Structure 1
Amino acid sequence: MLAATRRTGRILPASATEERKAPALVSDLRISQQPALRRPLLIAGFAGWNDAGEAASSAVRFIHRRWRCEAIAEIDPENFYDFTQMRPQVRLRNGERFIEWPPNTFSAKRVDHLERDVILFQGVEPHLAWKTYVETILEVCRTFEVSGVLILGALLSEASHARPVRVSGSATDPELARMLGLDERSRSTYQGPTGIVGILSQAVKDAGIPMASMWANIPFYIQRSPNPKGSLALLDRINSGLDFGLTLHDLEVFAARFEAQVAADIETNPEVAEYARRVMDDADDEDDEEEGIIDDDLRDEIDEAADAGAELPDAASMVDELERFLREQRGDRGSDA
């Protein structure tokens, strides 16, 4: 089937000989096939600012590979990226060179045991033309009659690496909220900077499409990436809430190995180890024994951020706190000497 092209932006000027014809459209969206899908749910994850530990993008990629989803469309990266900041990659396939551009791909899966099918979007936060980029995603929603949108993200938080990864979020739709165990919220008081997730979230709500956002809370002092514990936490919630029937055993094994390696890394640095123990002690002092249960003030803060596009918390302040703690530790050692 020939690829269809759709436009959400520029119109080329018609020549004098073509002035009676409809204007030609230059498309950023390339639809390769249009399978018959039943009220599909769009699940989106973006690499970039809203993807701490690559937890969100890795979760979407896991579903794509496990289900062997078929590509149905892609967004041409030409108008959305500064290629001096995000350079194309040279790859080899069967000994032949090819250029790999920042991927923004839609893929689909017919899920026979469910009442609706699934579209996955694996994207990279763009540098330019965010309004056009988001409108292109909405065009896919209209074309395939998407019945709901679930946006995944991951944020840095003052969480313990030794505890289960907390999943927070909210939904504008009661059914999605119930299925995913999220708060139903429709308003937010957040004001401040946002990422592409925030822009897309607002656009989806303005378009009247039911939506939800889910966020993995990643310990800010862990430098290893990707973080499979974060991806596993998101996939666990999706798998149980939406009855996807995914087998997560191999990811669970990977996450356990990752946790062991992180613990070993931390123990090699006594200062960071002491700080990590302090974070865990603070978490234990809160009524936080069950995964996803947090105090009301923190729940309001995280859920408001999720409603507004799940803006990342101020990681710089947490880094400052860690550096201050390390300075205090060094100062104590100096006085002991």
Structure 2
Amino acid sequence: MTKTIMLAAFEGWNDACQAATNVIRHLVSRYDSQEVRHINDEGFYDYQVARPMIYSVQGHRRIIWPQTTFYDITVSPELHFLAQIAPEPNYRWEEYCRKTLRIAEDYDVNEVVTIGSMFADCPHTRPLPLDISKGDCECELDKRYNGPIGIPNILDAIAADGGFSTTSMWVSVPQYFNNVECMQGTLELIHALSILLEQPLNEGDLARKAAQWRKEADDMVENMHTGDYIRQLEHEYDLSVKAQEITSNGAPACEQLIREAEAFLKDQPFAGY
């Protein structure tokens, strides 16, 4: 029996350094894929934000309007993705999401996975932070975050209300290195999908591209003399990882972590502000 999972990523605010939408592009390029459905504009876009594009094809000029594209991606005889990729709509999000889920129902989808990427204070020299929430589970990120959300969050919520099983995946990418595609983020999301599905996904040349991304980030940090800033981020990252590891070890271990954090902050120029 074939299982079809909907995988959705959106360009724009939810797609720092294209780490999320490049997951869809990568899967389309590595597996047998067919373009199967679309959601055309129908008033979902502000053309001053998501502008139409003009191309010359065999000597003929063609205008491409913003739209949503769905691909049927055959991962194996037992597993397909219904992959959705689109610019984030500007208007009528609820209607857009319900239209999306009607298409999902046409393909017998019962599980929806939304993916996104965001800028954060994280070092490129460590594994990029990955936040995953499944169904109605309130992870620690959900509890502490208050602020704007994007279309992946709305689609996830409406899908859950509609009876779909849902998973949300977000990778954080360094905000100081924001002018190139973050292939490390794409690789982290592919890894997470493989674990979620218990199905190894074809990584192709992502590991090589991720290594090149890290090398370019190293060169940028060296040229801009931001080593102290990166070391600060590394220390904060390592403290966070250590905190997660010792949370279950009781008060003495936690007190030791607090003392280490306080000692580190006292050495920083911004201490006491």
TM-score norm. by structure 1 comes to 0.67
State which of 210, 234, 245 in structure 1 corresponds to 2:165.
210
Q: Is the 8 A contact 2:132 2:170 kept in 1?
A: yes
Q: Are 1:275 and 2:238 an aligned pair?
A: no
Q: Is the 8 A contact 1:172 1:186 kept in 2?
A: no
Q: Are 1:169 and 2:124 an aligned pair?
A: no
Amino acid at match of 1:48: G
| Aligned twin of 1:136 | 99
Q: Distance in 2 between matches of 1:192 and 1:240?
A: 29
How much does 1:107 deviate?
Answer: 0.8
1:1-337 matched pairs, under 5 angstroms: 38-114=2-78, 116-172=79-135, 184-185=137-138, 189=143, 191-270=146-225, 272-288=226-242
Amino acid at match of 2:231: R
Unaligned runs of 5+ in 2: 248-267
Q: Distance in 2 between matches of 1:284 and 1:126?
A: 37
How much does 1:288 deviate?
Answer: 4.8
SS at match of 2:205: helix
SS at match of 1:86: coil
Which deviates more, 163-172 or 227-236? 163-172
How much does 1:244 deviate?
Answer: 4.2
TM-score norm. by structure 2 comes to 0.82
Q: Which whole-Å deviations, capped at 9, do the CAs of 1:217-246 have from their partners, x for residues lacking one?
A: 111211223110000100112134424443
Q: Distance in 1 between matches of 2:74 and 2:21?
A: 21
| Aligned twin of 1:314 | none
Q: Which has the larger radius of gyration?
A: 1
How much does 1:112 deviate?
Answer: 3.4
Q: Is the 8 A contact 2:27 2:73 kept in 1?
A: no
| Aligned twin of 1:5 | none
Q: Which whole-Å deviations, capped at 9, do the CAs of 1:159-185 have from their partners, x for residues lacking one?
A: 111111122111018xxxxxxxxxx44
Amino acid at match of 1:132: E
Shift in CA distance, 205/161, structure 1 to aligned 2, threshold 3 Å:
same
SS at match of 2:6: strand
Q: Distance in 1 between matches of 2:242 and 2:55?
A: 46
SS at match of 1:212: strand
SS at match of 1:268: helix
Q: Distance in 1 between matches of 2:101 and 2:202?
A: 31
Q: Distance in 2 between matches of 1:233 and 1:282?
A: 20
Q: Is the 8 A contact 1:156 1:219 kept in 2?
A: yes
| Aligned twin of 1:13 | none
Q: Which whole-Å deviations, capped at 9, do the CAs of 1:87-141 have from their partners, x for residues lacking one?
A: 1111122232211222310111334343x42210112111111121111101112
How much does 1:40 deviate?
Answer: 1.1
SS at match of 2:149: coil
Amino acid at match of 1:124: P
Q: Is the 8 A contact 2:50 2:87 kept in 1?
A: no
Unaligned runs of 5+ in 1: 1-36, 174-183, 297-324, 330-337
Tell me which protein shows more strand as a share of its residues.
2
Q: Distance in 2 between matches of 1:280 and 1:244?
A: 32
Q: Is the 8 A contact 1:150 1:213 kept in 2?
A: yes
SS at match of 2:20: helix
Q: Distance in 2 between matches of 1:285 and 1:76?
A: 47
Shift in CA distance, 294/70, structure 1 to aligned 2, threshold 3 Å:
farther
Q: Distance in 1 between matches of 2:242 and 2:171?
A: 15
Amino acid at match of 1:252: A
| Aligned twin of 1:12 | none
Which deviates more, 261-270 or 93-102? 93-102
After superposition, the CA RMSD in angstroms is 2.6
The aligned length equals: 248
SS at match of 2:190: helix
How much does 1:201 deviate?
Answer: 1.2
Shift in CA distance, 77/134, structure 1 to aligned 2, threshold 3 Å:
same
